[in-house]
Structure 1
Amino acid sequence: MYKVACVVLALFAVAYAVPSTYDTEHVWKAGNLSYVVPYSAIVGGYDPYGFTIYVGRVKYSNSILPARVVAETGTAYFNTETESSKLLVYDILVAERDVKYKWVRSFDGFYEKGAVAVGTTVKNERVFCCRAKTDGGVLIGTLLLSSQKVCIIKHESLALRKFDKYEVLVAQPKINGTLY
């Protein structure tokens, strides 16, 4: 009876303990207000107040989510499927010598080749960086290709918006200075 209970408990733990994981394919630098923004940080847009937004990521509720980092305030704003929040500890995406990052138009959850994933959700679903023009700025949002198929963006007190047309951050490798 003891062995059966242990096996059942172990199966239960495995089923409910799907951890979120960070992207290890790209270079991410730790950030907060006391750190200098890296020279090669990837720009993601601008907020309604005119601040430049950098591409970032945060860990929230056991998920890794894209974030729009405002260096002047040291704040990372991010979106889940239902809410928006902010954190003061985050990672910033930086360019490598052999990779070029660019924003590519996309729609309806179409997978763009080379799309940058920041990590995974607690459900082990990959999370991608997207952006759209809204609320007086170009804001970074959350893209869940396997479930939502829309770019989810919310800024401060404004309503949560879901865009079926958006841009996706894509990484293109450079070999000997040539993009592939």
Structure 2
Amino acid sequence: MYKLVCVVLALFAVAYAVPSTYDTEHVWKAGNLSYVIPYNAVVGGFDPYGFTTYVGRVKYSNSILPARVVAETGTAYFNTETTSSKLLVYDILVAERDVNYVWVRSFDGFYEKGAVAVGTTVKNERVFCCRAKTDGGILIGTLLLSSQKVCIIKHESLALRKFDKYEVLVAQPKGNGTYY
């Protein structure tokens, strides 16, 4: 009986020990207030205070999540399924010479070809970058296509919002205009 319990516990631990992983398809540069924003950083929108925000990602609670980076404050704001927070250490997405990053209208968790995933959650679910117009800005949010199917956005003390119509960040190769 003891061996059976140990085997079951070991299998349970292996099943839930799937670590989150970073996206390796795109180029991400380390960032914080001490670093200069790269000239080719991908713009994500603007916040309610008028600051330009850049597409970023953070590691939080063993998940990799999209973030809106404000260069002037060196802060990355991000959302989970239930909360919002900020970090001072993040990665910034930079455009390569052969790739265009565009925001494409989407809805209801539809997978857009070439959608940019920032990484995965602790449950090994891919996390995509979305945005929507809300609270006086165009804010970057979290899109979990396999479970939530909505763009999750929260800004500071305002309520957590879930949008079923939003824009998704998509990578397109330059030149021929086709999606990946």
> Structures share a fold, TM > 0.5?
yes
**Aligned residues of 2:172 and 2:178 also touching (Cα < 8 A):** no
Aligned residues, how many?
180
The 1:123/1:73 distance shift into structure 2, 3 A limit, reads same
Cα distance, 1:177 vs. partner?
Answer: 9.1
Pairs within 5 Å for 1:38-49: 38-49=38-49
The 1:178/1:110 distance shift into structure 2, 3 A limit, reads closer
**Whole-Å Cα distance in 2 between the matches of residues 152 and 132 of structure 1?**
9
Cα distance, 1:9 vs. partner?
Answer: 3.8
TM-score, structure 2 normalization: 0.94
**Aligned residues of 2:98 and 2:174 also touching (Cα < 8 A):** yes
C-alpha RMSD over aligned residues? 1.8
Cα distance, 1:5 vs. partner?
Answer: 5.5
The 1:40/1:13 distance shift into structure 2, 3 A limit, reads same
**Whole-Å Cα distance in 2 between the matches of residues 121 and 149 of structure 1?**
15
Deviation above 3 Å: which 4+ runs of structure 1? Answer: 1-9, 175-180
Which secondary structure does the structure 1 equivalent of 2:146 belong to? coil
Alpha-carbon displacement from aligned partner over 1:136-172 (angstroms, at most 9, x marks no partner): 0000000000111100000000000000100000000
**Aligned residues of 2:20 and 2:63 also touching (Cα < 8 A):** yes
Cα distance, 1:178 vs. partner?
Answer: 8.4
TM-score, structure 1 normalization: 0.94
**Aligned residues of 2:58 and 2:66 also touching (Cα < 8 A):** yes
The 1:3/1:175 distance shift into structure 2, 3 A limit, reads farther
The 1:125/1:5 distance shift into structure 2, 3 A limit, reads same
Cα distance, 1:2 vs. partner?
Answer: 7.2
